[in-house]
Amino acid sequence: GEDVEQSLFLSVREGDSSVINCTYTDSSSTYLYWYKQEPGAGLQLLTYIFSNMDMKQDQRLTVLLNKKDKHLSLRIADTQTGDSAIYFCAERMDSSYKLIFGSGTRLLVRP
């Protein structure tokens, strides 16, 4: 079955690192994505990783993929107050346009 799960809430202090976790169930996933949603806005693509990769780094963002455990994480280094938002992970199977989204993790960055 298709299911993507995330913890609902994460609070960190400004300047610390944030790690947002996601688990998925479908082993045939080919691409996994991280999106950010700020209040009143649509979803902004942050990064994606192909399923044959273990890690991808893009400036302050690091994505780690453990395919054996079906676990995806997003690490934000030096978290800023502007990073406060809801973060969604999503998976896509190769044969489908369909993205399966998690429920989102609300990140709160405290000054």
Partner 1 sequence: ETGVTQTPRHLVMGMTNKKSLKCEQHLGHNAMYWYKQSAKKPLELMFVYNFKEQTENNSVPSRFSPECPNSSHLFLHLHTLQPEDSALYLCASSQGQGPDTQYFGPGTRLTVL
Residue ranges in contact with partner 1 by CB under 8 A: 4, 31, 33, 35, 40-45, 48, 50, 88, 92, 97-99, 101-104
- Cα–Cα distance for residue pair 88/34, rounded to 1 Å: 6
Residue 60's closest CA among 109, 6, 111?
109
Q: Which is nearer to partner 1, 27 or 50 (CB)?
A: 50
Q: Which is nearer to partner 1, 6 or 79 (CB)?
A: 6
DSSP β-bridge partners for residue 34: 47, 89
In the complex, least distance from residue 97 CB atom to partner 1, rounded to whole angstroms: 5
Q: Which is nearer to partner 1, 65 or 92 (CB)?
A: 92
Ramachandran region, residue 78 (left: φ > 0; alpha: ψ -120 to 50; beta: rest): left
